[in-house]
Amino acid sequence: MWINGPLIHLSTVLPLIINISLCIAACNNGEYETNGQCCPMCDAGKRVLMHCDEFTSITCIPCIKDTYTDSSNGLSKCLQCSVCDLSNGLKVKKECTVTSDTVCEPLPGHYCKEVKRKNCLNARKHRTCSPGQYINQTGTEFQNTECADCPAGSYSDGTLCQLHTNCDSLGKITIKPGTEKDDAKCSDNGPSYILPLSLTLCGVTLLCVLAVIVITVKKKNSYRPAVQDQHASL
């Protein structure tokens, strides 16, 4: 009984050991597992139509339009080609084939915000610098534009900074100081509004003087009859 004991024990455990070994054993490279069977993979650009079994080999068929597989596989369906969506700031860089997915890139003036496997999934417009700023770093396919403030005494439209014109150095008069958005404005004869303003002031002054004279004369004329009436009564 002591001899039969170990024999009975091994006969019971041996199937379990074999099953465990089969579960642990993986399929070779270029194979995939299905229903406990290792089947050879389909080539890139194809998919599985029928899996292999102990009697027949695998059946593969080519991917249809707008689908692909980019490596050897045991897939029953090909992968759907990506779409470069204009609303996401994308355009097609490389068309989809049966062996490779669509490659998208940012539209002009955009940069990629989200990348997966070297493919741009989402893009945004480059930042626009405000007046009084300049482009410190030009935007690229994968980087946004960087802006910086112009130094004092200069202006810009959001691209490059330029120094305000120094009217005095040109022998001219500043009629409008420069701002962060606009250049200073100069004039050879002073501000254009000075002459019309001077003429207007002179005209107003002249009218005031005439009005005073007229009022004074009227007062004198109204005073003389009153005096004459007083003398007559005497």
Rounded to an integer, what distance in angstroms lies between the CA atom of residue 102 and that of residue 116? 12
Separation of alpha carbons 40 and 53, rounded Å = 11
Contacts of 82 (CB under 8 A, 6+ apart): 96, 101, 102, 104, 119
Does the domain at residues 133-187 carry the CATH identifier 3.30.70.260? no
Check if CATH label 3.40.50.300 holds for domain 28-80. Answer: no
Q: Is it the case that residue 27 has pLDDT exceeding 70?
A: yes
Please state the pTM of the whole predicted model.
0.59
Q: Could you give the percent of the chain with pLDDT greater than 70?
A: 79
The string of pLDDT tens digits covering residues 86-95 is: 999 999 999 9
User: What pLDDT, on a 0 to 100 scale, did the predictor assign at position 190?
Assistant: 53
Question: Looking at the predicted structure, is the pLDDT value of residue 234 above 70?
Answer: no
pLDDT for residue 44 is more than 90:
yes
Separation between Cα atoms, residue 138 and residue 216, nearest integer Å: 76
Q: Using one digit for the tens of pLDDT, what is the confidence trace for 198-221?
A: 677 777 788 888 877 878 777 776
Tell me the domain boundaries of the chain. Answer: 28-80, 82-125, 133-187
> What span, in angstroms and rounded, lies between the C-alpha atoms of 79 and 59?
18
Look at domain 82-125 and name its CATH class.
mainly beta
Dist CA 228 CA 86 (whole Å): 101
**164, pLDDT greater than 50:** yes
First to last CA, the chain: 178
Q: How high does pLDDT run on average in the chain? A: 84
Count Cβ atoms within 10 A of the Cβ of residue 127 and give its class: 0-12 exposed, 13-18 middle, 19 or more buried: middle
pLDDT of 121: 94
Q: Residue 88: which residues within 8 A CB-CB, separation 6 or more?
A: 121, 122, 123
Q: Using the predicted structure, report yes or no on whether residue 173 has a pLDDT greater than 90.
A: yes
Backbone conformation region of residue 181, classed left if phi is above 0, alpha if psi is from -120 to 50, else beta: alpha
Mean pLDDT, to the nearest integer, of 127-146? 96
| pLDDT exceeds 70 at position 140 | yes
Q: Is the pLDDT of residue 113 over 70?
A: yes
Equal fold, 28-80 vs 82-125: yes
